[in-house]
Amino acid sequence: MYFGKLLPPLLSCALVVLPAQASEFVEKLKESASAEIEKSETDALFKQAELSQRYVAALKTLEEKVRATGDLEALIRVREEAESITKSGQTTSHADKGIADLREKYIAARDVIMKDANAARAKVVESLAKTIREKQATLTKAGQVDEALAVRKEGEQMLLELSAGMQSQGVEFEEDSRSTGPVELKDLPKIEIPSVTPPLVEKPFALKGRWLESMTVPPLKQRISDGVMIGERNKGQWANIIVPKGTVWSGKTNILTNWGTIVATKATFDGLSFLGDHACKSFYLNCWINDCGFNKGGWWYGGDQATKFYFENCIVTNRLALAWNVVDVGFRARACVFEKVDLPPISFRDREPANYLNHPWFRFENCRFVDCKVPSSFVLVTRNCIFQNCIFVDDQGLKEGQKPIEVVIYQGPGGRYDISKLPKNVTITRKPDTEWKGETIPTAQALRDMMGF
């Protein structure tokens, strides 16, 4: 079913469109548009699956070549890359040249698929907007102003829904590359937490299939054995999930937000992998998060920071993410404590690292890191943070940029600073934590007291 062929009959509808009928009129347009978008996105899904299969096959060929060299560790890394692609479609952070060369081709091809899918969606939305404008003009000329206003109101809402996720979420403005001094570090806008109160669903884990409706889950102690998928992008079913105080979820499975949001407050999570598809966000406030991973999931892309995670006043222990790049994930954390975490290296994907120093989804601020491993690329996105007994290491993937970067870290007792191969325009200044004079940076115990644990 092609949207372009459906528009003429719809446009030939009777001119009289009463306000009460505006929803029905616009809904018919939405149905045809959604069908066209779903077709293009389904085609993209099949192309993505085929691409992943080809990439895994290429990795199998690489594995044979590596095996012939007798390098067991390199062979394991090739297998890990293939396994990660097979399970989630995501790449690892392994930097072996053979893997990196194949991965670059895979990512480039994947980006083309999603660019084409986004272009198809944009074309449908553009045609739809034109149809609505023409209908408004026709009604206005006929003196049916209330009817025109009703169509415009319903139409604008529909266009907003259908175009969600198409716009790039990357850096809007770059600093002047002619500047010779370090980029000025600025305060970032506050993250707005979604304010929604969906109805309570008593037994969410008894639901079959996806969680398609917005809901508040009860404060259950739940061991999760099967993966949970939230929302359904292809059908436009957006789901806001509210996880309240007292909730305890544990398990060795995935929680994938395909089309929606998660807002968790004073909850505990253990052993889970939280994945977000394009244009999805998750918010964790006053939570205790142990051995959980956060990463891009699903197949949809369309600009930087495809999925975003926000942490505030949280304790995060043992795991966060294997790797982090500017395309897949955006992280923002404030007043949190990270304990025994191997923090992820950041890939800027051949972009200017300094352009992300004031990015709203690339900052860990007023946080405390205890017994953590800290790669040099991760240091660049920290502000006003204290590091206790941490080991700082070089990140071979951190490339030279054009603009100078200066970052200050505050070190407590213990730990090691083994960074020795910084790009020449990057400066990390170390100060003792006793010199920190800003707002109080929480301890783990202070956060536990706040959470009531």
Provide DSSP, 69-111.
Answer: HT-HHHHHHHHHHHHHHHHHS-------HHHHHHHHHHHHHHH
Residue type at position 250:
S
Tell me the C-alpha distance between 150 and 275, whole Å: 38
Residue 171 in this model has a pLDDT that exceeds 50:
no
Q: Would you call 295 helix, strand, or coil by DSSP?
A: strand
Mean pLDDT of 7-29: 54
Per residue in 221-280, pLDDT (tens digit) is 999 998 999 999 878 889 999 999 999 999 999 999 999 999 999 999 999 999 999 889
Of the chain, the percentage scoring pLDDT greater than 90 comes to 49
The pLDDT, as a whole number, for residue 162 is: 65
Tell me which DSSP letter residue 28 carries. H
pTM metric for this prediction: 0.69
Structure tokens belonging to residue 279: 């244009």
The pairs formed by 288-293 with CB atoms below 8 angstroms and a separation of 24 or more are 288/314, 288/315, 288/448, 288/451, 288/453, 289/314, 289/315, 289/316, 289/317, 290/316, 290/317, 290/318, 290/319, 291/317, 291/318, 291/319, 292/316, 292/319, 292/320, 293/319, 293/320, 293/321, 293/322
The pLDDT, as a whole number, for residue 89 is: 67
Per residue in 268-324, pLDDT (tens digit) is 999 999 999 988 999 999 999 999 999 998 877 766 888 999 999 999 999 999 889
Nearest to 326 by CA among 353, 364, 293, 299: 353
Q: Over the chain, what is the mean pLDDT?
A: 85
- The answer to whether 303 and 170 have CB atoms below 8 angstroms apart is yes
Residue type at position 403:
K
